[in-house]
Amino acid sequence: MTIINKVRETIRANGLIEEGDTIIVGASGGPDSQFLIYALMELRKEMDFTIILAHLNHLHRKEANFDESLVEETAEKFALSFRKKAASMDAYAKKYGISSEDAGRRLRYEFFREIQKEYPKSKIAIAHNLDDQAETVLMRIIRGTGVEGLRAMDYRNGDIIRPILDIKKAMILDYLNSEQIPYAIDKTNFTTDYTRNKLRLDIIPKIEKINPNFKESLVKLSEIATDEISISDSYIKNIYEDIIIQRKIDFVSFDKEAFESQDKAIQSRLIRCAIGEIKKEIRDISKENIDNFLSLVDLANGKSIIKDDLVFLKSYKFYKMSLRKEDSQKKTGELTINIGEELSFGGKRIKISSVSDFQKKHGKNIEYFDMDKLTFPLSVRFRKNGDKFKPIGLGHRKKIKDFFIDMKVDKEKREKIPLILSENDIIWVTSFRSSEDYKLDPSTKNIIKIEVYDED
């Protein structure tokens, strides 16, 4: 089978390209992307699709301008649309505190996405080859990946396609050289400063002395893992959906009892599912990370485990995996409000009005007070250390912290519950309990109503 036929077979077997598609090729000028362009041009003789070459100049190497010129010349040779952009990967890496490799990848995909917005039926073609796949699997093994990490790269991931993932690097170079197709050489690929380069240039060649087919073995391992995962995924998915009690774009909550009833191995998979749902990827999550999250089961309610931007929380009734966000609530400060006014505070709308008589309350968002016992304006803030109040019906003062514990209020929610105060005295822990000292009694003449609602 010729190398072009092998690419054709991969594309057809995995449904990577359809009639009428626009294929945005990540064109670096290197041998892999040059081969991908020429292979796609051969296949375009049989199918109707459009090719756009997209080149991002990382401003990282002296040869960068040559690489750009080579891609532009290739575009001109085949009369293809050519799009280019310059952005410093080193500056981006410094700004966001990430590696240069990661910065380059993010910048490339941002660029490809910008182009993609112009074409409704478009896909991004990336020139990853079999060697790249093998290196990815090995890197993940070294970092302690779970089974999911062994899947490495897919032929298709949404709108991203990898048509030459079955082709070895040596075959690509042989083809380019025999056809006298020009390509650029990235000299940084021959240094061991980067992890992937060290694997490619040092570690893998040594292992290949023991097993010449080591790369193919790694890819086979990835394929086996993919098959095994597809079998178990449907089973885990059913459990996952059954125990979820709430989900939003940045968090997933499990029923506490249902989660704890599962075998530890299944709990691990459920955590991975939750991370995948809210982060859209789990490639940097190791078994050690998952085991660390699972240690939360043995901790007290209200405790949490944090890893980078992920927070796994244990509540009285649920476990919650969420993306970590800066707590803007604590920056809200303290506001004042008078009778007849309405304000926004901590995601709530708070309104005070004078009423002629007491009406039956519906829900916990309305409370009535004896106006003559209060000093206006009232204050609205979140709790502070040492806060106390006298819950109605109790007869003595109690720490807000102890009140929340008794009421089994989750630790993360305690900081987001507005308190209403008269001077420095808490008259209402909103949606929970008002103070004994400000309740209506037979001598009450003037009544105020306070309403607290979620903002739309």
CA atoms within 13 A on the CB side of 50: 14
Q: Is residue 387 annotated as involved in ligand binding?
A: no
Q: Are residues 127 and 192 in the same domain?
A: yes
Structure tokens at 293: 């999250």
Q: Are residues 88 and 163 in the same domain?
A: yes
- CA neighbor of 5 nearest in space, from 170, 219, 163: 163
- Please report whether residue 241 resides in a domain: no
What is the domain count for the chain? 3
Q: Is residue 120 annotated as involved in ligand binding?
A: no
pLDDT at 283: 66
SS3 14: coil
Q: Which residues of the chain have pLDDT under 70?
A: 1, 61, 187-194, 283, 325-332, 360-362, 455-456
Domain, as residue range, for 264: 249-323
The string of pLDDT tens digits covering residues 364-376 is: 899 999 998 998 8
pLDDT at 325: 59
Q: Are residues 161 and 310 in the same domain?
A: no
Structural domain ending residue among the three candidates 162, 190, 212: 212
pLDDT at 189: 65
Q: Is residue 88 annotated as involved in ligand binding?
A: no
Q: Are residues 319 and 362 in the same domain?
A: no
Q: Are residues 188 and 272 in the same domain?
A: no
Angstrom distance (rounded) from CA 172 to CA 7? 11
Q: Are residues 36 and 148 in the same domain?
A: yes
Q: Are residues 314 and 342 in the same domain?
A: no
Q: Is residue 395 annotated as involved in ligand binding?
A: no
Q: Is residue 435 annotated as involved in ligand binding?
A: no
- CA neighbor of 438 nearest in space, from 424, 429, 428: 428
Q: Is residue 442 annotated as involved in ligand binding?
A: no
Helices (H), 296-410: 400-406
Q: Are residues 180 and 304 in the same domain?
A: no
Contact present, 64 and 77 (Cβ < 8 Å): no
Q: Are residues 208 and 79 in the same domain?
A: yes
Q: Are residues 182 and 283 in the same domain?
A: no
pLDDT at 194: 65
pLDDT at 326: 46
- CA neighbor of 374 nearest in space, from 431, 447, 453: 447
Q: Are residues 16 and 118 in the same domain?
A: yes
